[in-house]
Structure 1
Amino acid sequence: MKPYYERAGISIYHGDCHEVFPVLPPKSFSVMLTDPPYCSGGASSSAKTADPVDKYCHNGNALGRPTFSGDAKDQRSFVTWSVFWMSACRRLLKDGGYGLVFTDWRQLPSLTDAFQAADFTWRGLIAWDKGGGSRSPHKGYARHQCEYLVWGKNGKCRPRQDAGPFPGCHHEPVRHADKFHIVGKPTELMVKLVDFCPQGESLIDCFAGSGTTLVAAAKTGRFGAGIEREEANCEIAAERLDELFDVSCRQ
């Protein structure tokens, strides 16, 4: 399988992660940093199987951003699927490599179980505070203001001389001008998180979406591979990376 996009040490593969994992060399990445479908956002079967645009976009308006698939699993399916892909990706990590996986409050208990079932050593949580504009169903209710990263190691957590300790909470608002995916994360948040990857080494994003993790890697002197099964998002990611690299070449 050839990359959909490849430039300056950054690659995008178009396909399901289980199709791509076998073509990548084992123990070649220092960090797995990824934002999989949460399969969240609804209590009933009909709500869970709704289009992500209807589940996650205000008034069902995606503002031209493409939707994505794979977000309709029930709880048991979500855990089983998470164990499968995390186990496969862990084999691509170096000994002592980091695993960092985004989730929300609904799926946090399930993801921490799956993370450990995939033989990662769970080390803790990192909170992403999205700010006071986050939704709340009504007064008297706490805002759903934070999402989380479950983080841990492929083996032991050895001291580092080059970086850390890393923040356990990040305060980074969502800016619509910087949002290229309907559930995309801020570029500056990902720039901070790629600090887990040593300079000059590589990370993998199994659910690359619009390429924000790869953009952050390229901006900070890291390399990386992203996997994305929606071609529309692959194209967005490729355009963002080309724009970044072209600006760098002109400077």
Structure 2
Amino acid sequence: MRRKLAAGNWKMNGTTATLDQVKALTDAHPDPAVDILLCPPATLIAQMAWARGSHALQIGGQDCHAQDSGAHTGDISAAMLKDAGASHVILGHSERRADHAESDADVAAKAQAAHAAGLIAVICLGETLDQRDAGTALEVVTVQLRGSLPDGATAANTVIAYEPVWAIGTGRVPTVAQIAEVHGRLRVTLHDMMRDADGVRILYGGSVKAENAAEIFAVADVDGALVGGASLQAVDFAPIVAALERA
């Protein structure tokens, strides 16, 4: 059985003052039946790791460099994230792919660095609205998965997150049938690439909220969610975690 995962991506949001949300979330789920992961800005990783206390809450970064160290001003290595208290790192998010022109090969190199540092790589995939309308969504995510998954990826060190670009932060959500179709294709593709494909968790992301979480989590091969804005406040994220626990 794959253990469910509720992951929150704070993106470029949060300061020390917002760390009170960690206590609110852990108080709401003191003994969660699923894994909970928060990925704050790098400036908050160490403080968030301290703020969680003895709770099982996991902490992740939002990106890392493919190199361990060097003359890369403004970047952060996987080893640095690990040292700050992170156990995971989000890689290949559509905002990184678009804003920083990250290719599948770039994502694979970063994932390999994450694995080498002992981090779990949360590799993001997803089609644009034009690609969805053109009927190429399945082809797009298949190519992204094959190009972004590095050698040595296993169910223990890798999570896949399907996030249709057109659903991120827009309030628009694919139909249950569309989500099931993509997740099914990703599972089949993983079987072509890995021995332990059945153990890899595949998350759905894109305008997930308390009101639609239960319906999404009922879809086959949806093992949790990667949540953006709704993860910033415990009052919004805790009900999503609860819906996943009931799934």
Q: Same fold (TM over 0.5)?
A: no
- Which structure has greater strand proportion? 1
Task: Provide TM-score, normalisation by structure 1.
Answer: 0.36
Task: Provide TM-score, normalisation by structure 2.
Answer: 0.37
- Which structure has greater helix proportion? 2
The structure with the largest alpha-carbon Rg is 1
Q: Relative contact order, CA 8 A, sep 6+: which one is greater?
A: 1
